[in-house]
Structure 1
Amino acid sequence: MAATTVTDSGGVRIITEVIPATDPRAAQLASGSRPSAPAVSSFQVRGFRRAQPKALGTIHIFTGIIHICFGIILTVSEYRTPSLPVASGVLFWLGLLQLLVSGSLLVESEKRDNILLVKTCCIINMGVILSTLVATLVHTTAITHNIPGCETNVPYQLKAEWCFNAENKILSNGLDSMFVIFCLLEFCTAVAALAFGYDAIKQHNYTRMAL
């Protein structure tokens, strides 16, 4: 039987009822006060959305398209003597496999309340971080080297005519410098997405343990 206590305080009457554990209403109250799993997941995903994943994903998609477009143009124009970025294929695998995939997942996470999607975004963005570091190394190495086909391996070696045109090297260095800036932007974007995603996953795991 439930015990009822009536208390008067400041013109307000407070009625307190103690329900025994055997009372069916106790189970209903316990289940009603505990947040459901979808609600918890939705709360954590909303925390991840503070990073504006749609904006971050748009940046990744935009830079990924630029990488692929320039990769096609440079591959066609340098098919005889490809430069280091073209020969390594960094413009394609960074633009397609990482940036477009990561950007699409980030944009999709703006629409769905799915903590698994947030975890996938974190994994992909870890790959983006590593890839941008490798790409930066490739582009900076290309800046410090001569134009392909213009290296001097033996004394008095004849060079092609374009090797004496300084504008070619300036253009090549300008493109590589631009890609280094893009890699820095992509690196910062991936770090921001990873930081907010890790925070959401950590809170989600803590909430599950607390439940």
Structure 2
Amino acid sequence: MAATTVTDAGGVRIITEVIPASDPRVAQLTSSSRPAAPNVSFQVQNFRRAQPKALGTIHILTGIIHICFGIILTASEHRKPSLPVASGVLFWLGLLLLVSGSLLVESEKRDSILLVKTCCVFNAGVILSTLVATLVHATAITRNPPGCERNAMFQLRHEWCFHVEDKLLSNGLDTLLVGFILLEFCVAVAVLAFGYHAIKQHSYTRMVM
């Protein structure tokens, strides 16, 4: 049997009960006294509101588009590559978007604040990369095609330099890619905003605990 002791101190009655080890209530008390595992889902709930799966799908699709355009333009401009092809921006930005998109899709399935931080790091890289890519494409639009620069007064220019439609086509492709880059920039900013809020909330919760 459990031994009960009653103590009065300062108008407060304290009842102490000693439970023997054979009592079945010991197992319940032991399990309830263990610290509960932190609920990570509560911390990443705000990040899930950004629909990371949908944003990751956008990154993946635009990454595939960049790589496909990179392959086509590299094959067609192997003699005189344009600035976007020579810089390789279509390939490294496409690969970065594929990795970032895959992480965002995975974050929809796993409750991991570390995965959220990783997504934020890669999307910060996407933001910087889109700014560089925009500068590259803008420079390609404003400059003459490769081999058509007027460096000398009587320099002979290649035949394709007189084909205005080629320059218009190149400018159209660069403008289209800049549109995709703007979409990628907006997606990365949204991921960073929601991810930062989730990370901040997670840190605050751990401090309180």
TM-score in same-fold range (> 0.5): yes
Partner of 1:200: 198
Shift of 1:183: 0.8
Residues 171-197 of structure 1: CA deviation (Å, up to 9, x unaligned): 000011111111110000000001101
Partner of 2:80: 81
Change (3 A) 1:29 1:21: farther
Matched to 2:37, the amino acid is S
Matched to 2:192, the amino acid is L
Q: Is 2:109 the counterpart of 1:108?
A: no
Shift of 1:28: 6.5
User: Aligned ranges for residues 31-110 of structure 1 at < 5 Å?
Assistant: 31=33, 36-37=37-38, 39=39, 41-96=40-95, 98-110=96-108
Change (3 A) 1:22 1:85: farther
Change (3 A) 1:161 1:206: same
Residues 141-191 of structure 1: CA deviation (Å, up to 9, x unaligned): 000000111111111211111111110010000011111111110000000
Shift of 1:116: 0.5
- Counterpart among 125, 131, 152 of residue 154 in structure 1: 152
Change (3 A) 1:2 1:77: farther
Shift of 1:46: 2.0
Partner of 1:14: none
Shift of 1:44: 1.1
Matched to 1:152, the amino acid is R
C-alpha distance in 2, partners of 1:182/1:91? Answer: 11
Matched to 1:87, the amino acid is A
Once the two structures are overlaid, the 10-residue window that deviates more, 104-113 or 158-167, is 158-167
C-alpha distance in 2, partners of 1:2/1:203? Answer: 45
Partner of 1:187: 185
Matched to 1:171, the amino acid is L
| Alignment TM-score, normalising by the size of structure 2 | 0.85
C-alpha distance in 2, partners of 1:20/1:132? Answer: 68
Q: Answer with 1 or 2: which has the greater Rg.
A: 2
Residue segments in structure 1 that go unaligned for 5+ positions in a row: 4-17
C-alpha distance in 2, partners of 1:30/1:19? Answer: 22
C-alpha distance in 2, partners of 1:196/1:55? Answer: 14
Residue segments in structure 2 that go unaligned for 5+ positions in a row: 8-12, 20-25
8 Å CA contact 2:6, 2:16 repeated in 1: no
Q: How many percent identity over aligned positions? A: 71
Aligned length: 192
| Alignment TM-score, normalising by the size of structure 1 | 0.84
